[in-house]
Amino acid sequence: MKIVVCIKHVPDVQSERRMEEGRLVRGEEDVLNELDENAVEAAVALVEDLGGEVIALCMGPEDAEDGVRRALQMGADSGVVVSDDALVGADVPTTARTLAAAVSKIGGAEAGPGDVDLVITGMASLDAMTSMLPGALAAALHVPALTLAGSLEVSADEATITRSAGTVREVLSAPLPALVSVTDQANEPRYPNFAAMRAARKKPLDVWDLDDLGLPAGEPSIAVIDFTERPAREAGIIRTDAGEAGRDLAAWLVDHELV
């Protein structure tokens, strides 16, 4: 089985993120998108059971190689980074078309997934949080989309997921090739040991640009018009309970229209 797992290298959510010239600064404290770790784990676990290979695919700046290396440490067999200055500011459709072209190249096809059996993504990236890419990528590849999977089972010719939608539990299946997005409830990502980290250094990693994919360079799709830094958190109010704290709390809630 040939599985492409799409990942993203994003600024650490615990870091002090900042904007310069209308762009989120990248390359300082970037990490593999936490929700994509579940996608990598799902792909690696399937190949361990069914055989095959996992290719980690990432679109981003040059330092996105670090995110792919992390996926290789977790068990992916090889990696591909698509990096091109023309992709700065790419929106979801542009990203989907680019990743679809990369999947086609990996699968040995001019269009569509080729010999790629399954594309797995996380449920969202923690920088943009659109959650739109899985559906857009499936549409660009012309394959079924099984999204927000809480569990995933794959046979030789079919993928089946279970997901929760409010109080409803759904079981969905689709023939392969297909795209599946997994949630953070799907599994527990493994932590690579030293041997896995060392082995990852020898795994192949290719860097492609738009010319390699046969795609034209377009204009940036997204521009930040304005942004405001989040104000620093203020110290809370500490009240010593002298028998009136309950009334004080109730009054505070009423004053702030919270009840």
Largest CA distance in the chain: 75
**CA dist., res. 195 & res. 204, Å (int):** 17
Tokens of 102: 């990369």
User: The pTM is what?
Assistant: 0.82
Cα–Cα dist 220/91, whole Å: 8
Interval 116-151: pLDDT, tens: 999 999 999 887 778 899 999 999 999 999 999 999
- For the chain, domains (ranges, CATH) are 2-213 (3.40.50.620)
What is residue 41's predicted lDDT score, i.e. its pLDDT?
Answer: 97
Element (H, E) at 194: helix 194-200
pLDDT tens column, 147-201: 999 999 999 899 999 999 888 999 999 999 999 999 999 999 999 999 999 999 9
Over residues 6-19, the mean pLDDT reads 75
Cis before residue 177, ω within 30 degrees of 0?
yes
Model pLDDT for residues 192-228, shown as the tens digit of each residue: 999 999 999 999 999 999 999 999 887 666 667 777 7
Structure tokens given for 125: 């990236």
Identify the pLDDT of residue 225.
73
Query: What would the pLDDT profile of 42-96 be if each residue is shown by its tens digit?
Result: 999 999 999 999 999 999 888 899 999 999 999 999 999 999 988 887 889 999 9
What is the radius of gyration, based on Cα positions, of the chain? Answer: 22
Q: In sequence order, which residues have a C-beta less than 8 Å from that of residue 252 and are 6 or more positions away?
A: 237
In the chain the beta strands, taken as DSSP E runs, fall at: 2-7, 9-11, 19-20, 23-24, 30-32, 53-59, 78-82, 118-122, 145-149, 151-154, 158-165, 168-175, 178-182, 205-208
